[in-house]
Structure 1
Amino acid sequence: MRSRLIERDAETASLGRLLDRARGGHGELVVLEAAPGMGKSRLLWHVRDAALRDGWRSLDVRATPMSPTIEYGVLRDWFGPLAHRHRSGEHPFDGPGAALADLADGTARTLGDLAYGARWVLEDLCAERPLVLTIDDAQWLDEGSLQVLDLLAPALRQLSCVLAYTVRVGEEPTSPDSLARLREVSRVLHPGPLTVGGVALLLEHHRLDPAQADRIHTVTGGVPLFVGEVIAHGGEEVPDSLVGAITGRLRRLSVTAIDTASALAVLGEHGTTGAVAELAGLPPATVVQDLALLCTAQLAERSEGTHRLRHPLIGDAVLAALTATDASDLHARCADVLARRAAPRSVVAAHLCLTTPGDDPDTRERLTEEGRHALSSGEPAQARRFFDRALAEGPVTGGRGPAARERRRSARRPRRDRGRT
């Protein structure tokens, strides 16, 4: 079941007004600019579908990280299929328009010839009926395509035409200066995250319990892509479909971004730059750069000198990509880093609980101590977790170890007194 657009009334109204103006010959350029997962592509296809239902023509492009290797990719995708459906020299691919037919056939033409040819063809197409041009992920366009769009922008405003494109925040554009010039002459829309109410509406749309809205919103931060995937998988917090998407995005930021994000994921509220660098085994300068990239990409945020991942689901997805052995090793190193940095013993013990048991007396003692504390604080389930993990750390001779004594004491304590100080 395809989810309907939720909490996008402002954006759809703005796009509708642009279509209305373009019908009267006042063309517009509009960019949907936001972090990945905010529903930019859904809005792009919404404006395209609305135009098609009203009898418009549509020419569409979706860029990829490989697009910069294809010169004038936008012109090839928009006009190549049309040129091949016309006989050689047939209007509108005659005169200046022949440059686009040549490009489609592999013949190189100059930027000026291609821009003039594109204008020639667009004017002809718009004379027949209004035209909507779409580009998804324009940050990956090649330099030549962006230069052509820059040259075409004034002409598009005089045609029954809308150019709508999306740009991912946090992705380094192939040609930042050219993309910035195009943005300057475009209307900019910033779709944001869903509210708890919006998540509840989506749950109802999928015939699921809206009472889950608070939990899902907390986990996902209201990012529509995350919300949709969680709902599609019956409330599962880290669908496999998101693990690859998030780790792939991190790899595009830098070669070390996954290591930095993994360190942030386990450090939690203790994500100082020094602690992240020590845990990730990276130079501080590299970590500073990674943290800046993560914040720009809206994957992490900084508060009072520490960094953390913006949404729990991001951290869960990063850790889900690790093997059990790697995850255990990461938590063991995290416990060591935090212990040296005088973090609360309870925090250190919580990480030790997530490691593979060995035979370390200090680990056993830390876990036992935290078990005692949890027991005296009225948290028997938590105490059992620490005691069980302490016992797993190695054999306790004759059942005389501290963890064993605490477990026996807990077992002998009358039920009404358990959990009291």
Structure 2
Amino acid sequence: MTPLPSGPHGAGAPTEAAPAKLFGRREETALLDQLLSRARAGTGGTLVLWGEPGIGKSALLRHAHDRAGDFLRLSHLATRPEADLAFAGLHALLRPVTDHVESLPTAQAPALRAALGTSGEPTNQLPIGAAVLSLLCALAERQPVLVLVDNGQWLDEATARCLGFVARRVSAHPVVVLLADHGDPAVRHWDGLADARVEGLTDDSARQLLATLAPFTDETTVRTTVREAGGNPLALHELATFGNGLDDAQHRHGPGQPPVGPRLRRAFRAAIDALSPAARLLTVLAAAEEHGDRLTVQRAGCATGVDDTAWEEATGAGLLRVVDNHVGFRHPVVRSAVYEGCHAALRRRAHRALAATLPDEAAERVWHLAAVAHGRDEHVATLLEQAAARARLRGAADTAARALRRAAELSATPIDASQRLAEAASAAWDAGSAATAACLLDEAERLAPGAHIARRGQGLRGVLEFARGTPELAHHYLTTDTHQVADPGTARELAAMAAHAAWSTGRGDPRAETYALLLAGEAGDRTGSPDPPAWWSDAPSAHPRQADDAGTRAGRTALPLLPPTPLGLAWGIDKPMREALRRGTPHLRRRGERARLADALARTALLDYVAGRWPDAESSATEGLRLAEEMGADHLASRCRTSLGWLAAARGDERTVAEITARTLETSLPRGVRALSAAAYWNRGLAALFQERPDEALDALVRLAEPGHGAEHPTFALLAALDTAEAAVHVGRHDLAEERARALETWARRTGAPWARAAAHVARALLPGPRAEDAFRAALDVPGVRSHPLLHARAHLFYGEWLRRCRRRIDARAQIGAAIEVFDRLGAEPLHGRARREQDLTGPPGRRGSPDTDETNQLTLQEQRVAQLAAKQLTNREIAVQLRISHRTVGHHLGNVFAKLGINTRTELSHPHACSEPR
């Protein structure tokens, strides 16, 4: 018995020992199981499974084979080489049971022997069909019989007719005939037989299959692979095997045309070869015409001898689908497989015919000419270059990259090829493929290094290094290439990115060099900008107050020229930045500029977090992270993760904070990206601070201003100054809190930024002094501070805590209540819980007593907390830090506790009933 082929059709490669597991084939397997069950009960049946190559027909046959262990199983895999040998399929199918041929009636046995080649008698179709039917029915008297034939399209004509005859007559006997074929049974020998078209897997089923093929694949690759495979299990197998080339293949083959592996290519070549020459050409014409324009394919077909019969054959084979004026395939992977599976000569013939039907000005014509071109063809290369320029104007950067890449292959000289590859790299970057852009740039430099690469590539080398997260190297390339590019606007963008890269390092020298470039260098002169905006400096006293000018310029500045978002926040220009992003982001989406879109989303996420639009911030950060990871842009991805980390810290999700910061620091510290390292340390500090662990918070936050530390960064030290001051006050480091308060006051005087003015007042109020209340009130009254709701709510909370310690409970409740409302709306759980506890402490005394207990013997809520911490053997100073009260107040409360409980030592507080909960 010829064994069934194991193969990648929905569940890996099944074997006798390990039956195949199918995903998403409930209806088909239920139908097969029903046929087998009916055969066991004495009733036969037939089913033809049909569909495109690789779609899962063989896996379903294997499923039936594995489920029919109690059957006599006869199987055959038809092959193309034997398609012209009469009865070759029947010979392979019946070879295991040829011993039973002699038991047939006298008239049938010789006919079947002749068909099987064991006698020289003449063959006749009808007696042979009857003989096979009799043989199977006789065998079925002992046990049910299962006949399986795969690749039915390659069965020889004689066997196909015989099986068709048999399949229509087995219903009265326990015989099941299962056939798998590429094409529609109605146009083959299986007309009239029950059939089921096998369609592609659903996305969920495809994910399940991919999990068994590549269990450790990341989500982005899973999503891309499932999309590219189009539900074809064999395509999933090949993409899982060759998936590393997905991104590059997209730019080489074009958008919407997934790469095809060798097995899928062979399978579709076999399907195409099974067609007549005219139908074969028609199928390839449809695959070569990317837009699926039926009229164009029809005109090209008519010019090459394709008639209605060819259309019927191609659609009947299940390869082509025609709907109104559109002709195409079930999924782009099928189109790719058809196109790559045919012979190269047939592809060239199809492209030549399509080019002949199109007018000279048609954009598609040049692609067909390029597909036909051999060797060097400068004329076609120039046409492709022109087509790429038009594509970039309409935002089709991926198409432009593909055109320029092909133009480079056809270029007459290495320098021409190098220039076109450099420009292709720039287009590939705009389309969101950093890996492809880097490869194209490397190839351009290999062919002909020189200044033309920076000029035609728009300074891409520095852009790529910045995206990868190597800012010092990026700064070097960007400042050099700024002088090479011809377009003044591009030069200015490169200078701005150089400044951003320098700012990311957190060091003075490279920034000073960039500022000089912006001030008086070529980029500044050529763009008509006599001096850069004030926001490019975070030095506390470099310039007089320029916040108004910065805000005005931010409102009319193009997105690539805006400062780093944290620096913009420090300057208080977040509102105009947010407006600029709101206007510009839809434009980036329409043009498909994935790299700039990811940057805009990273910026928007941080601005929305500060503005209290946390769901929007999470959405932008998540989308930006997905784009950045797909592009391979580590720096962008880390910026998006940082925003998610700040959200997690404010929401109390410390596990996410730990994961995000660890991942960020793993790459940012070795590469010297101090901005990202500082953001990670600030994130950790906030998480600890919100969870009321000031010692741990301060340990992280002081690194932002620690000379020589990998997280030292002046902008982030400034933005985190209030958090540092709060943690420092709680641990008794008033000197450090004073230093941070002065830094905020200096910055507030320079910029007038609302956040800085409010934070400076709050930091001053947290320190001991007679004017604390004036400082709190001043902080809450700063114009514009409400646009930073978390900061504003924290000011209310701090003020309320101060009022409560001053025993002004009614005033305290008002302030804390305002904070609770905001924390609740934002979802800031740790701060919300802290505010609730503070509010409890401000309740009227009568609420804390029990009606049936003497008040002198009942602990207040604050006494309860002091007692519980003292029971853990914490010192008075440690208790004071956690409860934000003085150590003398702790001593006062402990004295009350001892008196009310009638005990004398802290050890006695450990008794289970010593500190019962107050009512």
Question: Which structure features the higher share of strand residues?
Answer: 1
Structure 1 residue matching 2:291: 3-state secondary structure: helix
Structure 2 residue matching 1:12: 3-state secondary structure: helix
Aligned residue number for residue 212 of structure 1: 221
**Within 2, Cα distance between the matches of 1:329 and 1:102?**
44
Aligned residue number for residue 276 of structure 2: 254
1:242 lines up with 2:264 in the alignment: yes
Aligned residue number for residue 385 of structure 2: 367
Q: Is the 8 A contact 1:136 1:166 kept in 2?
A: yes
Letter in 1 for 2:55: M
Q: Is the 8 A contact 1:96 1:120 kept in 2?
A: no
Structure 1 residue matching 2:24: 3-state secondary structure: coil
**Within 1, Cα distance between the matches of 2:328 and 2:310?**
12
1:180 lines up with 2:191 in the alignment: yes
Aligned residue number for residue 165 of structure 1: 179
Aligned residue number for residue 201 of structure 2: 194
Q: Is the 8 A contact 1:126 1:159 kept in 2?
A: yes
CA offsets 1:133-170 (integer angstroms, 9 cap, x no match): 22223445455545544554576223222122223215
**Within 1, Cα distance between the matches of 2:185 and 2:268?**
13
Equivalenced residues, count: 398
**Within 2, Cα distance between the matches of 1:138 and 1:329?**
29
Aligned residue number for residue 291 of structure 2: 269
Within a 5 Å distance, the mapping from 1:4-83 to structure 2 comes to: 4-52=21-69, 55-65=70-80, 69-73=84-88, 75-83=90-98
Q: Displacement of 1:266 after TM fit?
A: 4.5
**Within 1, Cα distance between the matches of 2:390 and 2:168?**
73
Aligned residue number for residue 98 of structure 1: 109
Letter in 1 for 2:392: A
| Cα RMSD (Å) | 4.9
CA offsets 1:204-255 (integer angstroms, 9 cap, x no match): 1111525434433443331233233323434653212222332332233232
**Within 1, Cα distance between the matches of 2:26 and 2:166?**
30
**Structure 2 stretches of 5 or more lacking a match?**
1-11, 14-19, 246-258, 417-450, 459-484, 497-557, 562-583, 588-919
Aligned residue number for residue 434 of structure 2: none
Cα distance, 1:201–1:380 mapped onto 2, change above 3 Å = closer
Aligned residue number for residue 233 of structure 1: 242
**Within 2, Cα distance between the matches of 1:71 and 1:81?**
19
Q: Displacement of 1:202 after TM fit?
A: 1.0
Q: Displacement of 1:117 after TM fit?
A: 3.7
Q: Displacement of 1:193 after TM fit?
A: 1.0
**Within 1, Cα distance between the matches of 2:139 and 2:168?**
17
Q: Displacement of 1:276 after TM fit?
A: 6.8
Structure 2 residue matching 1:156: 3-state secondary structure: coil
**Within 1, Cα distance between the matches of 2:164 and 2:402?**
66
**Within 1, Cα distance between the matches of 2:283 and 2:137?**
49
Aligned residue number for residue 491 of structure 2: 412
Letter in 2 for 1:189: A
TM-score, with length taken from structure 1 = 0.72
Question: Which structure features the higher share of helix residues?
Answer: 2
Structure 1 residue matching 2:64: 3-state secondary structure: helix
**Within 2, Cα distance between the matches of 1:138 and 1:4?**
24
**Within 1, Cα distance between the matches of 2:348 and 2:137?**
63
Cα distance, 1:12–1:317 mapped onto 2, change above 3 Å = closer
Structure 2 residue matching 1:179: 3-state secondary structure: coil
CA offsets 1:16-48 (integer angstroms, 9 cap, x no match): 122111112122222223333322222122212
Q: Is the 8 A contact 1:170 1:298 kept in 2?
A: yes
TM-score, with length taken from structure 2 = 0.36
Question: What is the aligned-residue identity percentage?
Answer: 21
**Within 2, Cα distance between the matches of 1:366 and 1:196?**
37
Q: Which moved more, 1:380-389 or 1:20-29?
A: 380-389
Mark the structure with the bigger radius of gyration: 2
Aligned residue number for residue 144 of structure 2: 130
Aligned residue number for residue 307 of structure 1: 327
Comparing both chains, which one has the higher relative contact order based on Cα–Cα distances under 8 Å and sequence gaps of 6 or more?
1
**Within 1, Cα distance between the matches of 2:130 and 2:403?**
72
Cα distance, 1:56–1:229 mapped onto 2, change above 3 Å = same
**Within 2, Cα distance between the matches of 1:18 and 1:34?**
20
Q: Is the 8 A contact 1:60 1:134 kept in 2?
A: yes
Cα distance, 1:204–1:285 mapped onto 2, change above 3 Å = same
Structure 2 residue matching 1:198: 3-state secondary structure: helix
Cα distance, 1:230–1:376 mapped onto 2, change above 3 Å = closer
**Structure 1 stretches of 5 or more lacking a match?**
none
**Within 2, Cα distance between the matches of 1:386 and 1:294?**
34
Q: Displacement of 1:200 after TM fit?
A: 0.7
